[in-house]
Amino acid sequence: MTSRGIVISDLTVGYDGPPVLDQVSLQVSSGGTVAVLGPSGSGKTTLLRALAGFVRPAQGRIEVDGKVLTGGPVLVAPERRGIGYVRQDGALFPHLDVTGNILFGLPRAERRRATQVGPLLELVGLSPSLARRRPDQLSGGQQQRVALARALAREPAVVLLDEPFSSLDTALRAATREATLTALTQRGATTVLVTHDQAEALSFADRIAVIFDGRIAQIGSPAEVYDAPATPEVGSFLGDTMLLAGQAAGGIVDCVLGTLELAEPATGKVLVMVRPEQVVLGDPSGPTAHVVSVAYQGPDAMVRLNLPNTAARLMARVPGRRAPQPGDEVGLAVPDPVRSFPDSPILPISG
Amino acid sequence: MRRRTFLTGLGALGTMGLVGCGSSKSDGEYVADPGSLQVYSAQHENLTKAWVEAFTAATGIKVQIRKGNDASMGHQIVAEGSASPADVFLTENSPAMTLVERNKLLAPLEEETRRQVPANLTPSSKAWTAIAARSTVLVYNPSKLPKADLPKSLMDLAAPEWKDRWGCAPGGADFQAIVAGMLAGQGEQKTKDWLGGLKTNARALQNNIATMKSVNAGELPCGVIYHYYWYRDQAGTKEGSGNTALHYFRNQDPGAFVSLSGGAVLAGSKKPAEARKFLAYVTSKAGQQVLVDSQSMEYAVGTGVTSTPALPPLNTLQAPPVDPFTLNSDKVTTLMTDAGIL
Amino acid sequence: MPASSDLRVDAVIRYDEPTAAVPVVRSTRTPWYVMLAAILLAALVVAPVLVVFGQATSAGSAEASRLLFRPRTAELLRNTLLLVALTVPVTVLLGCGAAWLVERTTLPGPGIWRTLLLTPLAIPAFVSSYAWTSMLPSVQGLGGAVFVTALAYYPFVFLPVAALLRALDQGHLDAARSLGLTGLGAMLRVVVPLQRPAVAGGALLVALHLLAEFGVLQMMQYPTFTTAILQQFAVGFSNAAGSLLAAVLVVLCLGFLVVEVPLRGHARIARLGPGSGQRPVAHRLGAWTVPALAALAALVGLAVMVPAAIVVRWLARAISSGAVEAGPLLAATGSSIGLSVLAGLAATLAALPGAWLLHRYPSRLAAVLERVTYVASALPGVVIGLALVTLAVQWARPVYQTAALAVTAYTVLFLPRAMVAWRSGLAAAPTELIEASRSLGVSGLGTFARVVLPLVLPSALTGFVLVFLATVTELTATLLLAPTGTETLATAFWSASDELDYVASAPYAAAMIALSAPLTLLLRRQILDQR
């Protein structure tokens, strides 16, 4: 049975000591975009390098469009995989100008003609006037886009992006990300993005694979992994999270925030996951909290609260304009259904 | 652009080098020529060349010279062993020849060749022959050392009053031969004591020329050297010897030691007949006259040949009666090593 | 009910990105052919050294200990170590100081200084020591030896340090200043640590040269192991005593090699990606401009001008007395160029597998293979030359007394010069770029040709030039191994100067300098190519 796109099965990488990747399986449909999200050292870069062919796994297979690239004795050389790879630092060749870099992977005849440079620069949102610049005359974002254009020049079926936006400043990051996404979509390339930036993963990809300590913790759409994380750790990693002890009884749960509606029924002792944006301030019927601090962030504000007689430190994300003042006493409510997890000790996630 | 210029440069350089090799090759000089007699010579280059040219003119036998210095060339022939390409070996001093002889790499000397050199200058071993000679002398600076204060014997220089007042080049083969002569004539204890005195008193210089120049510059009152360095400088610019004079110890003193340059045919020679012919030529009257005419200022050793008139005749030097072929150079090395000179 | 039991869980789990780099997992398979080449070349260097050890032990242990454990050995050891201990810091001081003035200050004419400061490499050390002793007879002993060798060898430190200083990112310095360090503090705590690999590599080359130096020390009447080895060879009837001292020298060299590893540190120089490094801001010299210029002028004057003036004086006399013969001079120049080009190419190529292995597939074995290639360079040429005679006569008779064997000897002797150049050059071709090329569909060989080679070419050229310069002046191994009848500039100079004839030797000395001087210009690329 063959399938289009990437199929990774049971991939284990590691030489000495604990494996860097432990039986990772992942499928990406053709033309799809998956973000591999995890803390530093979780093995996400190694996963990408295994896909690119720079790492020989201890076991497991990698197929692209039905062709085995890695598996058993097979280890197709990086240059024969037809997989584009864009690194965090761009890795432009310092001795070549932009044109030389973009055309690097093309056959000699096409390098001579150099007809592709203009369209490729436009594809990644750069001016063709940059064609003769040397890498050290480009900004970081420009370097990243040239690196992308270089990878796309060969029209690879698969493009791997290894934290390509992480070293760019915020404004540049959004623009570069958008240009990249557009270019990739136009080319219909299957894309794997590795990142530790939750927001980047959520906005870029149509599927997200969360990876902790070399294992896949959850795979799903951005909404699934954010709203319905498989574990408290996944939930916490994807965004600010409050985990509160509670007592569930079918569709409802009791905790310090009162009696809340559950998205899925549960019973007994549970951990209730509440995201700060689920908390509504100013509901007099709920428990009253003391505002400790307010971090104003423009569109919204992060409010830190204390509940009297408890050690709980709570957070609420509210529209910036409606933020209370420190010292205010406010009533809390959580109107939307919340998620719960069976009560178990939370393992700190190694960063 | 820049890269291209420098690549072009490198290419040009390589080509120049190859042209260099090629032009030498066309002269027949760049590779050993198997048709030529191979002479390994540690003798001074001018003299060797003069001999070879005269020999080729006289016999038509082509000769190729490999030059070097006594020590490394002697060791080289030993390392080459019986496979040595050398047919003839010429040295400046006897120790390097003795080294090769001990490794049994020399062919016996022809009787006729031996007879061309006086018996007191030919080896008891009959494995090689003297081809030239040089005498030990004391070079001194009369402004620093009046003639009246000159030492009577080389042995005197070990006395405390000579501390820091003389120099020599004890690290060379030249000097080792002098000490070997001393050991043969004076015995081990006296030689050992003298070397101890040398270690304390003498400044160790790089070579004979440096010694002479130091004396000439007045840095040292006197120094022990071989005679011909002084005579050559005198015949030329006198730049290194103008302020100096020579003192001959005579009286069969160890300081009157005469060292011999050697010549021999290698046992492994592929052209033994031509090699013997060459050595016979070098020691012949004609060959020895070449030596005299070469202005090398060394003593001719051939019977019936008069050395350069500038030199006091060899037989007036009253050299100690030492057989240079039985000199115990190993013992000398050990003594010098033990004295901390080597 | 205490509230704390209600709220067992701390509400927020935070994630902080650790700043330490995550080790990158690489496929660690070393290509067998690279490994094989590195092993064979290491064996080539070790083989003559083993011959020396064999001869050292041939006299038996009693004789060996008699020769070894005596006051003279201690004296030689003290002299040798003293020379290294004094000269190396002086070269580091001169090299770093000059590099800083040229690359990091507002000194006028940095381009000219860069060139002038490298020219001592073109002056054979024995020529400059002769010049000095003939001019100032008091230049001798330890002081004279340090003086002449430091002036001759400081470019080995200047070259890599200047290149690194030029590559220095101003960002690092600014960061240090913003963290409250003074200019000097930033220099000491940021710049100096970054310079460690360059300084350590240069100092190692200087130390190895000092171990093997003969001509200068002989002229300075300063006995070291090497001068003693040559004397033993001159008077000894077996190689045992000389070889024994040579073995001690090898042990000393191994000591230096081990010491250099931790001194070098692990600073990474190459810079990739976002933002090119900021060009360093030049330090304003102001009133110090004149003293700085005077200091550099004095350095160049002492190291280059004095010996050059002496050679020119000889040459003028040679020309006026009609002693210059064009034929032999041209032939010797041709041979010198031919042998030196071949040696430069051979040594540069030979150093590549070891350097490549260590760069791309670091392992303990790779480190050992690289270090091993330095061992022979601490020995005088005659020792390696004789060992190669022994080896070639026994195992490779057809190459004996051919240019091939001479080039092999030069390669063995001068490999470290190429190795040091490659090591700094390969840092300019980081693995990331190689992987980028592979993922763009270019094979290993193509990647080497299209990415690695263009990036490391300046360094390869540096290695080539350094080996070339050394070969032009090499004498003792040349005498033993060059084809019979081959006259090089060095052997012709030696013949003439051995004849007391400095006028006749002048054209050859001048030709050596004239041949070498333009090549030092090529070394500037090593500095200028730093981004």
* φ/ψ of residue A187, rounded to 5: -80, -10
Measured between CA atoms, the residue of chain A closest to residue C435 is: A54
Give the C window 319-338 contacts with B, CB below 8 Å. Answer: 330-331, 333-338
pLDDT over 60 at A305, yes or no? yes
Higher-confidence residue: C431 or A194? A194
pLDDT at B312: 93
Check CB contact of C67 with chain B, cutoff 8 Å.
yes
User: In tens digits, what is the pLDDT along chain C, a chain of 531 residues?
Assistant: 333 333 333 333 333 333 334 445 555 567 788 899 999 999 999 999 999 999 888 878 888 888 788 888 888 999 999 999 999 999 999 999 999 899 888 899 888 999 999 999 988 887 888 788 777 877 888 999 999 999 999 999 998 888 878 777 666 666 666 666 666 766 777 677 777 878 888 899 999 999 998 888 888 888 898 888 887 877 766 678 888 889 999 999 999 998 888 887 655 444 444 334 455 667 788 888 999 999 999 999 999 998 898 889 888 988 888 777 888 899 999 999 999 999 999 999 999 999 888 888 888 888 898 888 898 888 888 899 999 998 998 888 888 888 999 999 999 999 999 988 888 777 777 788 888 898 888 887 888 889 888 888 888 888 999 999 999 999 889 988 999 888 999 998 888 876 656 778 889 989 999 999 888 888 887 777 654
The SS3 assignment for A127 reads: coil
pLDDT at C287: 85
> Which chain B residues are closer than 8 Å to C397 by Cβ?
83
Q: Do C72 and B16 touch (CB under 8 A)?
A: no
Give CA separation, C233 vs B71, B237, C83, C445, in Å.
Answer: 6, 33, 22, 47
pLDDT at B1: 36
- Residue B226 region by backbone torsions, left for phi larger than 0, else alpha for psi between -120 and 50, else beta: beta
pLDDT at B337: 80
Which residues of B sit in the known binding site? 44, 92, 228-229
Radius of gyration of chain A (CA): 24
> Which chain C residues are closer than 8 Å to B20 by Cβ?
333-338
Give the A window 109-138 contacts with C, CB below 8 Å. Answer: 135-137
Contacts of A280 (CB under 8 A, 6+ apart): A316, A318, A332, A333, A334, A335
Q: What is the mean pLDDT of residues B42-59?
A: 93
Q: Are A55 and C25 in contact (CB under 8 A)?
A: yes
Confirm or reject CATH 3.30.70.1450 for domain B37-132+259-307, answering yes or no.
Answer: no
Predicted confidence (pLDDT) per residue in B72-90, tens digit? 899 899 989 988 999 999 9
Residue C195 corresponds to which tokens in the numbers above?
Answer: 């310079």
Same CATH topology for B37-132+259-307 and B134-257+329-338?
A: yes
Check CB contact of A52 with chain C, cutoff 8 Å.
yes
* ipTM of the complex, rounded to two decimals: 0.80
Of B17, B80, B342, the CB nearest to C337: B17
Check CB contact of A16 with chain C, cutoff 8 Å.
no
Q: How far apart are CA A11 and CA C530, in angstroms?
A: 41
- In a domain, residue C171? The reply is yes
Chains that touch C (3 or more CB pairs under 8 A): A, B
E-state strands within chain B: 37-41, 63-67, 88-90, 129-140, 166-168, 202-204, 222-226, 245-247, 258-265
> Other C-beta atoms within 10 Å of B2: how many?
9
Measured between CA atoms, the residue of chain C closest to residue A82 is: C441
Q: Do A93 and C437 touch (CB under 8 A)?
A: yes
Buried b (16+ CB within 10 A) or exposed e, C65-83: eebbeeebbeebeebbeeb
Listed residue (C429, C434, C277, C447) closest to A85, CA to CA: C434
Contacts of C425 (CB under 8 A, 6+ apart): C455, C456, C458, C459, C460, C462, C463
Q: Are strands A207-212 and A215-220 parallel, antiparallel or unpaired?
A: antiparallel
Q: What is the mean pLDDT of residues B5-12?
A: 46
Among B26-40, B95-109, B130-144, B240-254, the range scoring the smallest mean pLDDT is B26-40
Chosen for mutation from B7, B13, B39, B102 (greatest number of chain C CBs closer than 10 Å) is B13
Measured between CA atoms, the residue of chain C closest to residue A160 is: C439
Q: Do B20 and C461 touch (CB under 8 A)?
A: no
pLDDT over 90 at A198, yes or no? no
Which residues of B sit in the known binding site for Fe cation? 44, 92, 228-229
Sheet holding A158-162, edge to edge: A83-86, A158-162, A190-195, A33-37, A207-212, A215-220
> Other C-beta atoms within 10 Å of C484: how many?
20
> Which chain B residues are closer than 8 Å to C71 by Cβ?
340
pLDDT at B339: 84
Positive or negative torsion for Cα A18, A23, A28, A34: negative
Of C3, C276, C455, the CB nearest to A309: C3
> So what CATH class is A6-234?
alpha beta
pLDDT at B22: 38
Q: How far apart are CA A323 and CA A302, in angstroms?
A: 8
pLDDT over 80 at B4, yes or no? no
Predicted confidence (pLDDT) per residue in A38-97, tens digit? 988 888 888 998 998 888 888 999 999 989 999 888 888 888 888 998 887 788 888 889
Check CB contact of C498 with chain A, cutoff 8 Å.
no
pLDDT at C286: 81
Q: Do C70 and B29 touch (CB under 8 A)?
A: no
Chains that touch B (3 or more CB pairs under 8 A): C
Q: Do A85 and C439 touch (CB under 8 A)?
A: yes
Chosen for mutation from C24, C439, C455 (greatest number of chain A CBs closer than 10 Å) is C439
Q: Do B44 and C228 touch (CB under 8 A)?
A: no
Contacts of C53 (CB under 8 A, 6+ apart): C243, C247, C250
pLDDT at C80: 94
Of C333, C480, C500, the CB nearest to B72: C480
pLDDT at B15: 44
Residue A232 corresponds to which tokens in the numbers above?
Answer: 């408290």
Listed residue (C295, C428, C305) closest to C355, CA to CA: C428
Measured between CA atoms, the residue of chain C closest to residue B169 is: C221
Chosen for mutation from C1, C6, C14 (greatest number of chain A CBs closer than 10 Å) is C6
Four-way CATH pick for B134-257+329-338: 3.40.50.1360, 3.40.190.10, 3.40.50.620, 3.40.50.170 = 3.40.190.10
> Which chain B residues are closer than 8 Å to C330 by Cβ?
23
pLDDT at B31: 54
Query: Domain-by-domain residue ranges, chain B?
Result: 37-132+259-307, 134-257+329-338
Question: Tell me, what DSSP letter sits at residue B33?
Answer: -
Model confidence pTM above 0.90: no
Give CA separation, C489 vs C330, C331, C503, C512, in Å.
Answer: 9, 9, 15, 6
Measured between CA atoms, the residue of chain A closest to residue C442 is: A79
Q: What is the mean pLDDT of residues A173-177?
A: 81
Sheet holding A280-281, edge to edge: A280-281, A329-333, A288-296, A300-306, A313-319
Single-letter residue type at A327: G
Single-letter residue type at C27: S
Predicted confidence (pLDDT) per residue in B141-194, tens digit? 999 999 999 999 999 999 999 999 999 988 777 788 888 889 888 889 999 999
Q: Do C485 and B68 touch (CB under 8 A)?
A: no
Contacts of A112 (CB under 8 A, 6+ apart): none
Q: Do A93 and C6 touch (CB under 8 A)?
A: no
Chains that touch A (3 or more CB pairs under 8 A): C
E-state strands within A33-106: 33-37, 59-64, 67-71, 74-75, 83-86
Residues in chain A: 351
Q: Are strands B129-140 and B88-90 parallel, antiparallel or unpaired?
A: unpaired
Q: What is the mean pLDDT of residues A247-263?
A: 90
Chosen for mutation from C65, C76, C231, C235 (greatest number of chain B CBs closer than 10 Å) is C235
Chain A closest CA to C268's CA: distance in Å?
Answer: 15
Q: How many CA atoms lie within 13 A of C16 on its CB side?
A: 3
- In a domain, residue C282? The reply is no
Chosen for mutation from B19, B329, B337, B341 (greatest number of chain C CBs closer than 10 Å) is B337
Residue A34 corresponds to which tokens in the numbers above?
Answer: 């998956």
Q: Are A85 and C436 in contact (CB under 8 A)?
A: yes
pLDDT at C530: 57
Measured between CA atoms, the residue of chain B closest to residue C72 is: B340
pLDDT at B160: 94
> Which chain A residues are closer than 8 Å to C440 by Cβ?
79, 84, 104-105, 150-151, 154
The SS3 assignment for B223 reads: strand
Of B6, B29, B38, the CB nearest to C525: B6
> Which chain A residues are closer than 8 Å to C24 by Cβ?
45-46, 49
Superfamily covering domain A240-339: Nucleic acid-binding proteins (2.40.50.140)
Q: Do A105 and C16 touch (CB under 8 A)?
A: no
Give the C window 223-282 contacts with A, CB below 8 Å. Answer: 272-276
Among A174-183, A290-299, C250-259, C265-274, the range scoring the smallest mean pLDDT is C265-274
Query: Domain-by-domain residue ranges, chain A?
Result: 6-234, 240-339
Check CB contact of C362 with chain B, cutoff 8 Å.
no
Q: How far apart are CA B243 and CA B218, in angstroms?
A: 8
Q: Are C405 and C481 in contact (CB under 8 A)?
A: yes
Q: How far apart are CA B226 and CA B207, in angstroms?
A: 10
> Which chain B residues are closer than 8 Å to C70 by Cβ?
337-338, 340
Chain C closest CA to B319's CA: distance in Å?
Answer: 22
> Which chain C residues are closer than 8 Å to B10 by Cβ?
461, 464
